[in-house]
Amino acid sequence: MTRDAQATRRRLLDAAADEFSEYGIAGARVERIALASKSNKAQIYHYFGSKERLFDAVMNDIVGRTANSVPITVDDLPGYAGRLFDVYEDDPRIARLATWYRLERTGEPTQLDVLSETLKDELTQIRAAQRAGALSRRYRPADLLNLVLHMSFLWTFVFPELQGQFVKTSRVHRRRVLVDSVAALLRPEPAPAGVHGP
């Protein structure tokens, strides 16, 4: 791909991320994406084929960049969650795009390859760390990964009725609550009442 083509594709992805995060797939308008990217509808369809495939390209791009910039660290899952939190705080579009993806693309026959591969790799690393005794086995690998990933999004999904409670909280506070909560997940499961150690 030539440099000009790469630059055009990058502009289209950036403009589309803004549009989709605001309106979702159904509400997004190809005309607005073309205008914002200083391109035209023909180029959008040339590069991506359809509005739905453009959305998938946006998601693949964001998931790939996030996975590359914040690789999982199974020896420090609280730190991993904190670094994901930083990415989501710095780019609020990600949480909105993830919401639209679940609403409008989940259940579609085509899944995001980069997301499937990233999750598969992360699960493999968690399984290996649990087998080696380096990571708590309190939760199944898929349960643990799901908890960590969703907790990282915690503050982006606060109910409007609760937002007033968090208006004055700092980013440092929100990050600390997240990291401490993930650390709590990894503590050994307490013994049942009445059971004592040797």
| pLDDT tens sequence across 68-93 | 999 999 999 999 999 999 999 999 99
Does residue 106 fall inside a structural domain?
yes
Residues 6+ apart with CB under 8 A from 123: 141, 142, 145
Residue 105, pLDDT > 90, answer no
CA 25 from chain center: how many Å? 18
> Do the beta carbons of residue 56 and residue 104 sit within 8 Å?
no
Average pLDDT, the chain: 89
Q: 98 lies in a domain?
A: yes
pTM, rounded to two decimals: 0.86
Instruction: Report the length, in residues, of the chain.
Output: 198
Q: What is the pLDDT of residue 190?
A: 66
70: left (phi over 0), alpha (psi -120 to 50) or beta: beta
Listed residue (151, 153, 146) closest to 181, CA to CA: 151
Quick check: 15 and 36 in contact, CB under 8 A?
A: yes
pLDDT higher than threshold 80 for residue 192: no
What 3-state DSSP class applies to 158? coil
Residue 106 has pLDDT above 80, yes or no: no
Answer yes or no: are the C-beta atoms of 81 and 28 closer than 8 Å.
no
Residue 45: inside a domain, yes or no? no
Reported as a single tens digit per residue, the pLDDT across 129-180 is 999 999 999 999 999 999 999 999 988 887 777 767 766 778 899 999 999 9
Whether 20 maps to a domain, the answer reads no
Give the total number of structural domains in the chain.
1
CATH of the domain at 176: 1.10.357.10
Is 1 part of any domain? no
Residue with tokens 């730190």: 79
Assess if residue 8 is contained within a domain. Answer: no
Is the residue at 3 inside a domain? Answer: no
Full domain range(s) for residue 76: 51-185
Residue 195 lies in a domain: no
